[in-house]
Structure 1
Amino acid sequence: MAAGVVHAVTEACTQGSLLQCTCDDSVRDVATDGEWEWGGCGDDVSFGYRKSREFMDVVKRRRRSDIRSKLLLHNNEAGRLAIVKHMRMVCKCHGLSGSCALKTCWKKMPHFHDVGARLKARFDGATQVTISNDGVSLMPVGGRTIKPVGLTDIVYSGVSPDYCVPNRQKGSLGTRGRECDPKSFGIGGCGLLCCQRGYATRRVKRFENCRCKFHWCCEVVCDTCVSVHTVHTCL
C-alpha cells in the first residue's frame, strides 16, 4: 500500500492532476557527459514519497514502542524504497533522420508490475524479527548467525499458523479437498498445497454453454457442451 501511494501520487503529479506538484526538475543540476541533457517531464518521486509517509505512517503519532508499530513502519518504508531506489532513466533522441546526435533524458518510476514482483520476492524471503535490547531497532530471530535487517527487507514477528489443517479459531478450513496442479512448484502445486499428504486424481464431466447465438430481439440461445476434465484434489 505504501508503494501504491507513492506511485499513484507521483503519477498524478506528472500528469498535472494535482495543484501541489508538477514534474521534477531537481536532477537537472546534476552534470551530464555532454552526449545527453536533462529535460522532459521527470517523475517527482520525492513528493510522492513524502505524501506516502504522511498518509501511511500515522502510527508514529500513536505508540511507536510496540513491535507491531515498528513492523508497520519498517515495511511501509521498504515498500516506498522499492520505487525510490529503482528509478529509471528514459531518453528521447534528437537529430536529423533520428541520428540521435543529442538525447534528452528524465527520470521515471519503475513499472508498478515490477514493483509488485520485487516486493513479492522480498515477501517470500521475509525475515522474522524481534525488538533488540535497546528497545528501538529490530533484530532477526536467531541472533548473529542471521544477516542484519536491511531497509528494503520485509519483516514479520509472529510465526504463521498451520493452514494445512482446519482451525476454527484462526479461520482456516485446511487444504483437504482443494484442487491443485501436480505440475506446479508454486503455492497452487499439489506438493505444497497438499502439505505432503498426497492428492487424488479423478475425471469429471462439466456442462458448459457453447455456440451461443444472439437472436433479434432479444434472446441468446446456447447449446450445452460436455467436456471431460482431469481434476486433482488434496487428500
Structure 2
Amino acid sequence: MATPQILFVEDDVELRELVAGRLRETGYEVVTAATGPAALACVEEQVPDLVLLDIMLPELDGLEVCRRLRAAHPLLYIIMLTARSDELDRVVGLEVGADDYVTKPFSLQELVARVRAALRRIRLTEEHTAPMEVQDEEAPLTFDELHIDPVRREVRVDGEPVHLTVREFDLLLFLARHPDRPFTRMQLLDKVWDIQYEGYDRTVDSHVQRLRAKIERDPSNPRFVRTVWGVGYKFQSEQEEE
C-alpha cells in the first residue's frame, strides 16, 4: 500500500516544521506550502490524499483555497486549521467545502489522531469503490427520485449524478440506512465523524445544509433529510401526504 501523502499549508515556519516532522515520524509523506497560491500549485502538480489547510494565509486565504480545491477535486479530504475563536469562521470553512476543522492551539497527538481517522475513512472509501460482490448491506437504496449506490459511492437525483464530498456521502448513507430514526448531533458525530466529544454540533448542521442543497428539490422544505426539533435529524423514507 502506498504511503499516504499529506499537504500541510501553514505560513508559520516553526509550526509548519513541527507538524510536518511529527506527521513524517508517524509514517506519512508530507509536502508543505506557506501561501494559498503555493498550495494550489502543489495540488495541481500532484493531488494528495489529505490537505491540512490553515485559514489565515498570505496572498490567498484558506477559505478561498478550500473553495477552489473543492470545486476542482470533489473527493479531496480537507481539514481546516483555525486560530480564531469565532465559531462562524469554522462554520464558513465547512460551508465552502472542508470536511473537518481543528482549532488552534491543538496538541500534536490530537491532530495526528484526526489525520489517522480521516485517512482510515479514505481507505475504506477506496475499498468500497473497488469491484466486489454486492452484499445485502451494499445494495443500492432508492427513495422516490433519490438513488444511493453504496458500492460505487454514487448519488443520483432524477437520474442525474450529484457530487458529494466524502463526509456528505457518509452522512447521507448512514441516515438512509436507518430510515425514520432520529439521531442527535452527538450520535452523528460519533458514527460519521468518529468524534466522541462535544463542541462540533455546528459541523453536523453545516453538512446537513450542504447536503440538502444538493439532493433536495426544495432545501427549505426537505423531502429526505428532516429536522427533528429538540433531537437532531432523520432520513424520511416515504413521502408524507399533503
Normalised by the length of structure 1, the TM-score is 0.25
Please state which structure has a larger fraction of its residues in strand. 1
Please state which structure has a larger fraction of its residues in helix. 2
Q: Radius of gyration: which is bigger?
A: 1
Normalised by the length of structure 2, the TM-score is 0.25
